[in-house]
């Protein structure tokens, strides 16, 4: 009788597996995703960032003048496959470094559940149903303009409507957390 040898190459997660990637729609039902055109003047930089609708029927990124927001149009969805803005080195960019091209189509989550990134230092702050803050000041260190925050920062964040926007639990070690939109 021949003996069969098998190798197991399991991955072990000591505490918690990563939650996902910014811009991933992690619950496809119910989700309301619509196509939109990225604004040429103030484009959305990358997946998982907030966007606002414009009068020219495009969506734009958050700018420093957006300092009194209580709602947003939606969140930019991470597409697959991803076409990089500077398309001279297809496939040679580092993982997670791609950005959206200005004036090009993209998908926007209007209602549903999406993974977003908060500063890793705030990873323990969000809880189920906790408040969501939007960083509108210029990007600074771990804070990204148009990104989400779990804590208010005077002069740099807006508190979004707690009925329409809520975190759905704690973030992973990289600051990836599930955001619920009921717009």
Between CA 56 and CA 108 the distance in angstroms is: 16
Tens of pLDDT, residue by residue over 137-146, are 999 988 999 9
Q: What does the DSSP assignment read for 123-134? A: TTS--BT---EE
Query: What average pLDDT does the segment 23-28 reach?
Result: 89
88 or 42: which carries more pLDDT confidence? Answer: 42
Structural element, H or E, at residue 25: strand 25-37
Query: What average pLDDT does the segment 108-128 reach?
Result: 93
Q: What is the pLDDT of residue 145?
A: 95
Q: Where are the domains of the chain?
A: 25-82+96-182
Does the structure show a pLDDT above 70 at 160? Answer: yes
Does the structure show a pLDDT above 80 at 107? Answer: yes
56 or 82: which carries more pLDDT confidence? Answer: 56
2 or 96: which carries more pLDDT confidence? Answer: 2
Give the range among 88-102, 104-118, 148-162, 167-181 with minimum mean pLDDT.
88-102
Does the structure show a pLDDT above 90 at 110? Answer: yes
Tens of pLDDT, residue by residue over 79-105, are 876 555 555 555 555 555 557 889 999
Q: What is the pLDDT of residue 7?
A: 64
Indicate the class that CATH gives domain 25-82+96-182. Answer: mainly beta
The CA radius of gyration of the chain, in Å to the nearest whole number, is 18
Between CA 175 and CA 123 the distance in angstroms is: 5
The closest of 106, 111, 108, 107 to 31, measured between CA atoms, is 111
């Amino acid at each position: 009788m021949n003996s069969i040898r098998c190798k197991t190459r399991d991955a072990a997660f000591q505490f918690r597996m990563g939650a996902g990637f910014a811009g991933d729609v992690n619950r496809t039902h119910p989700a309301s995703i619509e196509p939109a055109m990225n604004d040429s003047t103030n484009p959305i930089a990358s997946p998982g960032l907030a966007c606002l609708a414009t009068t020219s029927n495009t969506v734009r990124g958050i700018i420093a003048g957006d300092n009194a927001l209580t709602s947003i149009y939606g969140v930019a969805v991470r597409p697959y496959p991803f076409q990089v803005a500077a398309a001279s080195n297809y496939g040679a960019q580092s993982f997670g470094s791609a950005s959206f091209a200005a004036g090009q189509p993209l998908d926007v989550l209007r209602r549903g559940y999406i993974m977003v990134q908060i500063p890793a230092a705030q990873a323990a702050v969000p809880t189920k149903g906790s408040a969501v803050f939007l960083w509108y000041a210029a990007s600074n260190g771990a804070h990204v303009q148009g990104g989400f925050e779990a804590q208010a920062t005077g002069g740099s964040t807006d508190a979004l409507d707690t009925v329409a926007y809520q975190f759905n639990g704690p973030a992973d070690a990289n600051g990836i957390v599930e955001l619920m939109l009921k717009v």
